A and B are shown apart, each in its own frame.
Chain A
Amino acid sequence: MRLAVVGNPENRRVALFAAAAARAGLPAPQVHPWRDVLLSGRVPGPGTVVRIDSPGENAEVDTLLRALGTGRPAAVAEPGEILGGAAAFAGLRAALGRVAAGGGELLNQPADVLTMTAKPHCHAVLAAAGIPVPAALGPVHGYESLRAAMDRAGWGRVFVKPAYGSSASGVLALAVSGRRAAAVTSVELSGGRIFNNLRVRRYDDEASITAIVDRLAPDGLHVERWYPKAALGNRVLDLRVVVIAGEPRHVVVRTSRSPMTNLHLGNARGDVAAVRAAAGDRAWAAAMGTCVRVAECFPRALHVGVDLMFRAGWRDHAVAEVNAFGDLLPGVLADGLDTYGAQVAALVTGRTVVPCGI
């Protein structure tokens, strides 16, 4: 088997997958840097089995994706700057098309990657499949239209998410009541531009909240009703469940004192066994069943990263997001294999659900 990876070679994701391949006695995957794919168009060819990994965390690749998406030169984002989500998504769509056209056997089909990455679309797909998701508003175009839509729905508490964002980038947990508004977010306003700050903060002045939402809105917003998350040890939590070839065996608990549980925001991994005990076996099994059903919505993706929330009180659960590149769970093992090892094992034993070519 000839393996190839499209990814950012400096990123540990690529190294972890290569290590898993080596442990399974497979030849080292050929690495196709996103930068090269975007600049030279060289992609893995027929006869290769291709893992497509995240283009994230690389400023040059981000700039190239945005340029590809708009067909115009793109400005380089400053570190942490939230910029051009829609353009980057359009660029990803085009770039995935190039990769697919190369004729390799893709472990994650572009259509599935794109659906997972576009939050409104993903939400619609999950809802249509009967998977529990928080209710969502229709399109909103700025703070004023957001407030109007919330009023129409009768909602005072929502999560506002960039339509194409990832890892809490640009997400606001917003509560409003009459003339009061409060938003918890990792977004920082600076000189009319917006940045992700690893420190989650609270804004309770409407002017700042308006400025942030209006700055995010042109790239598309997806607004869901706030789903009150369960807590343990006075930290709210959710799960990242990586479903590989249909099996939800790699789980991390993400806990936080803020409504944002993403681990890079200074949050902590929690104790899976404790959460399982708190939820009870039945609720846990139901949650895992939901994750499997989510993966079934993306049958041509070898792995699917599901963010699953239990409701405060543990009686219910809902899916917050689905991540196309959500399998970076270092050190989380199932039967001795990390997420990469499990994917390689699925490949070797032919348990992938990947049809050849589309």
Chain B
Amino acid sequence: MTIHDYLTTFAGLPVVASAEKEAPADPAAVAWRIEVEDFEADPAEFEAAFGQLLERTGPAGPTALIIGQWGSAYDTAFPTDLLVRNAARLGRLRALFIGEMSSEECEISWIQQGDITGVLEAFPALERLWVRGAEGLALTPLRHQGLRELVLQSGGLPATVIRAIGACDLPNLTRLELWLGVDQYGGDARADDLAPILAGRSLPALTHLGLRNAEIADEVAAAVAAAPVVARLAELDLSLGVLGDAGAESLLAGQPLTHLKSLDLSHHFMSPELAQRLVDELPGVAVDVSDRQREEEWGRYTAVSE
């Protein structure tokens, strides 16, 4: 499976493509989407689209911004510098999604990203940061007080990035979603790399943790089953991965999860018996065990990899 849909809302705002001619009544009340149509468009074309967006959104710029294809995303990292240079023209920016491309436009595992530290530094008021694609993705640990939501979607998230997140100080982060992916596409993290996150010390406000799309889902489940951060969570999401009976047994044998509002395990390889036991033993928790997968000739696949 792959990602084909575009978001229709982002940060609670309806998405409007910057290429649409009709202007919304209030340019601050929508999430703007910019992209170049040509897969291999020249960087100047993306800069022009960005410039047009700034014209349409006034001196404070957009509230929420989704960036799709910026041109040859499969071999050229997103130019974060463009945002950083224009930070003064983006004073209102609170939500940013870099790389919302469908697999028709670029395979998730091919999307090139760069170092996103500069973006976080340049936008201290940024509340939501989503990034799709993790090839070349880098982060230097920092403190960021504004960030509420960090979502890194990938077919393979490097351990270096996961360790950097664990070393960040994000006092107001409530939602963290990491798509760990598969080793073949750079998802080389092991449970140890998640330890600082699971300890939760630098994420005091966290209530939603997603460790999704993981080839190491059973290992993640075992780590989560004993993780201090879990006691604070309302929502735990281990979906889209290859969670099997081993992981389910870890969850059943581990710390109580009855305080959760939801536990998302959809897209899994658990036996019906164990999936049912999880549901039965967590009354009051919305447990999602839908989309059971069958093992294929070459083994188990995460939902989103290529």
Kindly state the separation between the CA atoms of A235 and B1 in the bound complex, as whole angstroms: 10
Is the Cβ of B107 less than 8 Å from the Cβ of A175?
A: yes
Is the Cβ of B107 less than 8 Å from the Cβ of A236?
A: no
Residue of A155, A156, A178, A229 contacting most chain B CB atoms (<10 Å) = A156
> Which residues from chain B contact A311 at a C-beta distance below 8 Å?
37
A sample of 20 inter-chain contacts (CB < 8 A) reads: A154-B40, A156-B40, A175-B107, A177-B75, A226-B39, A226-B104, A228-B105, A229-B104, A231-B6, A231-B104, A232-B5, A233-B5, A235-B4, A236-B104, A257-B1, A257-B2, A258-B2, A259-B104, A312-B104, A315-B17
Interface residues of B (CB under 8 A from A): 1-6, 17, 19-20, 33, 35, 37, 39-40, 72, 74-75, 102-107, 110, 306
Is the Cβ of A236 less than 8 Å from the Cβ of B102?
A: yes
> Which residues from chain B contact A231 at a C-beta distance below 8 Å?
4-6, 102, 104
Closest to A309 in B: B104
Rounded to whole Å, the gap between the CB of A237 and the closest CB of chain B is 9
Rounded to whole Å, the gap between the CB of A98 and the closest CB of chain B is 42
Rounded to whole Å, the gap between the CB of B287 and the closest CB of chain A is 22
Q: Does A79 contact B (CB under 8 A)?
A: no
> Which residues from chain A contact B37 at a C-beta distance below 8 Å?
311, 316
Kindly state the separation between the CA atoms of A311 and B36 in the bound complex, as whole angstroms: 12
Is the Cβ of B19 less than 8 Å from the Cβ of A315?
A: yes
Summarize A's interface: helix, strand, loop or mixed. Answer: loop
Rounded to whole Å, the gap between the CB of B182 and the closest CB of chain A is 12
Is the Cβ of A182 less than 8 Å from the Cβ of B4?
A: no
Kindly state the separation between the CA atoms of A157 and B39 in the bound complex, as whole angstroms: 8
> Which residues from chain B contact A232 at a C-beta distance below 8 Å?
5
Rounded to whole Å, the gap between the CB of A151 and the closest CB of chain B is 11
- 4 closest A-B pairs by CB: A231-B4, A228-B104, A177-B74, A228-B105
Q: Does A152 contact B (CB under 8 A)?
A: no
Is the Cβ of A156 less than 8 Å from the Cβ of B74?
A: yes
Contacting residue for A178 out of B75, B102, B106, CB 8 A: B75
Kindly state the separation between the CA atoms of A313 and B20 in the bound complex, as whole angstroms: 10
Q: Does A234 contact B (CB under 8 A)?
A: yes
Q: Does A180 contact B (CB under 8 A)?
A: yes
Is the Cβ of A182 less than 8 Å from the Cβ of B306?
A: yes
> Which residues from chain A contact B2 at a C-beta distance below 8 Å?
257-258
Closest to A173 in B: B104
> Which residues from chain A contact B6 at a C-beta distance below 8 Å?
231, 312-313
Is the Cβ of B5 less than 8 Å from the Cβ of A234?
A: yes
> Which residues from chain A contact B105 at a C-beta distance below 8 Å?
228, 312
Is the Cβ of B110 less than 8 Å from the Cβ of A175?
A: yes
Number of A residues, CB within 8 Å of B: 29
Kindly state the separation between the CA atoms of A47 and B33 in the bound complex, as whole angstroms: 61
Rounded to whole Å, the gap between the CB of B100 and the closest CB of chain A is 10
Q: Does A202 contact B (CB under 8 A)?
A: yes
Rounded to whole Å, the gap between the CB of A297 and the closest CB of chain B is 25
> Which residues from chain B contact A202 at a C-beta distance below 8 Å?
306
Kindly state the separation between the CA atoms of A257 and B106 in the bound complex, as whole angstroms: 14
> Which residues from chain A contact B106 at a C-beta distance below 8 Å?
175
> Which residues from chain A contact B19 at a C-beta distance below 8 Å?
313, 315
When each residue 19-59 of chain A gets 1 if its CB lies under 8 Å from chain B and 0 otherwise, what string results? 00000000000000000000000000000000000000000
> Which residues from chain A contact B102 at a C-beta distance below 8 Å?
228, 231, 236, 312
> Which residues from chain A contact B3 at a C-beta distance below 8 Å?
234
> Which residues from chain A contact B107 at a C-beta distance below 8 Å?
175, 182
> Which residues from chain A contact B103 at a C-beta distance below 8 Å?
259
Chain A, 227-268, CB within 8 A of any chain B CB: 228-229, 231-236, 257-259
Is the Cβ of A236 less than 8 Å from the Cβ of B4?
A: yes
Residue of B104, B106, B110 contacting most chain A CB atoms (<10 Å) = B104
> Which residues from chain A contact B4 at a C-beta distance below 8 Å?
231, 234-236, 257
Contacting residue for B72 out of A156, A229, A235, A236, CB 8 A: A156
Closest to B184 in A: A204
> Which residues from chain A contact B74 at a C-beta distance below 8 Å?
156, 175, 177
Q: A182-B107, A226-B39, A312-B105 are in contact. List 13 more A-B contacts (CB 8 A).
A: A156-B39, A175-B110, A177-B75, A177-B110, A226-B104, A231-B6, A231-B104, A234-B3, A234-B5, A236-B104, A313-B17, A313-B35, A316-B37
Kindly state the separation between the CA atoms of A313 and B35 in the bound complex, as whole angstroms: 10
> Which residues from chain B contact A180 at a C-beta distance below 8 Å?
110
Kindly state the separation between the CA atoms of A156 and B102 in the bound complex, as whole angstroms: 15
Contacting residue for B39 out of A155, A178, A234, A315, CB 8 A: A155
Kindly state the separation between the CA atoms of A358 and B33 in the bound complex, as whole angstroms: 54
Kindly state the separation between the CA atoms of A259 and B110 in the bound complex, as whole angstroms: 16
> Which residues from chain B contact A155 at a C-beta distance below 8 Å?
39-40
Closest to A225 in B: B39
Kindly state the separation between the CA atoms of A235 and B104 in the bound complex, as whole angstroms: 11
Kindly state the separation between the CA atoms of A218 and B219 in the bound complex, as whole angstroms: 49
> Which residues from chain B contact A154 at a C-beta distance below 8 Å?
40
Residue of A154, A155, A177 contacting most chain B CB atoms (<10 Å) = A177
